[in-house]
Copies of this chain bind each other. A is one copy, B any other.
Amino acid sequence: MKYSNLLVPTLRDAPSDAEVISHKLMLRAGMIRKLAAGIYTYLPLGLLTIRKVETIIREEMNAAGAQELLLPIVMPRELWEESGRWPVYGKELLRFKDRHERDFCFGPTHEEAVTDLVRNEIHSYRQLPLALYQIQTKFRDEVRPRFGLMRGREFIMKDCYSFDRDEKAATETYWRMFEAYKKIFKRCGLEFRPVEAGTGEIGGTLSHEFHVLAGSGESEIFASDDPDIAYTDEKVPADKICPKTKQPLKSFRGIEVGQVFYLGTKYSEAFKATYSDAEGKPQHLVMGCYGIGVGRTAAAAIEQNHDANGIVWPLGISPYSVQVIPIAVDDENVRNISFDIYEKLQKQGVDVLIDDRSESPGVKFKDADLIGIPLRVK
């Protein structure tokens, strides 16, 4: 892509309401713009990073045996009455009436919709295990949205729901997803730690959060030096605990970017979602759910990877992998050599940005430092 054809409105200073570094840098690097409190437009450069995170998630979810679908954003009240969450979910659930005065909500999570689908389509143990995921725009009407994509109201999330025959199979699925999450955050190039967590409004009995480590992190977490070891207790199966877990846990600051939940039969009981076992007896489906905040992952990556001049993207989620910066683009020789490199890289399938603007080297380097593409050809 030619820089001159790309809308990248970089800013010298961030607006005063941007408090954290990722919010400031995403605004300054021309990745996002605010439309309303907690509601952002993803500009081309921001969307490219979002898509890279999504692609990594999609590949690892597929590899873990999950299938992609797309549930509706708008859901009827009746579904949320059935789970019991309509009266108890707070004002974060955005509720409204359609033109016929029927109650609906804008989905912040989709246990209801997916359990309703599965109770209608799954009847036999032969159809199990089943794991369904989607990557979707969701809405949570935060009382005080802030920190840009970190605590927005409208946000992009991957949510996955698993359905198994029994506790044993569901626990295996839980740990397979746990491993998939580790692969995802590794491929994103992030330092992270899984830690045990509560289950909040989602419910269930076992849960881990995945935290990206950053000095600016919102939470203090206790974890091993080794990211492959979950902070763990007796609920973790033996093969997940290796001798190294005996090492002392350390304190880190973390930003939560994903969470996995063992749900059990909370939703399948509420929705009477059953299957027939090998003896033909009805059994409740045993569920898990698994979320990743896509925009939040991009923001956390910046909290972890930046310097005084701007973002320093991990290669896996950089909007472009390589940036070619011809210093004197008006010099025919420089221009030819630069475009030659650019075109050769493109032919090899490398996603490359060339700064073809007639700007001074100072302006170009300042913008390049700000947008933070990790590989540069000058």
User: Is A76 engaged at the interface, CB distance under 8 Å to the other chain?
Assistant: yes
User: Is A39 engaged at the interface, CB distance under 8 Å to the other chain?
Assistant: yes
For window 129-160 of A, CB contacts with B under 8 Å fall at 130, 132, 136-137, 139, 141, 143, 153-154
Known: A33-B120, A35-B76, A132-B7. A70 touches B47 (CB 8 A): yes
Taking the closest CB of chain B, its distance from the CB of A367, in whole angstroms, is 15
User: Is A73 engaged at the interface, CB distance under 8 Å to the other chain?
Assistant: yes
The 8 Å CB contact of A44, one of B5, B67, B95, B98, is B67
User: Is A218 engaged at the interface, CB distance under 8 Å to the other chain?
Assistant: no
Q: How many of chain A's residues have a CB under 8 angstroms from any CB in B?
A: 52
Contacts of A137 in B (CB 8 A): 73, 136-137
Q: Are the CB atoms of A75 and B36 closer together than 8 Å?
A: yes
Q: Are the CB atoms of B74 and A47 closer together than 8 Å?
A: no
Closest partner residue, chain B, to A43 (CB atom): B69
Known: A35-B75, A99-B141, A113-B35. A44 touches B68 (CB 8 A): yes
The 8 Å CB contact of A121, one of B9, B67, B117, is B9
Taking the closest CB of chain B, its distance from the CB of A15, in whole angstroms, is 11
Taking the closest CB of chain B, its distance from the CB of A126, in whole angstroms, is 9
For window 55-105 of A, CB contacts with B under 8 Å fall at 65, 67-76, 79, 91-92, 94-99, 104
Query: A interface vs B, CB < 8 Å?
Result: 5-7, 9, 33, 35-36, 39-44, 46-47, 50, 65, 67-76, 79, 91-92, 94-99, 104, 106, 113, 116-117, 120-121, 130, 132, 136-137, 139, 141, 143, 153-154
For the complex of A and B, list the 9 residue pairs with the smallest distance between their C-beta atoms, beginning with the closest: A96-B96, A42-B70, A91-B99, A9-B121, A36-B76, A39-B72, A44-B67, A99-B141, A35-B72
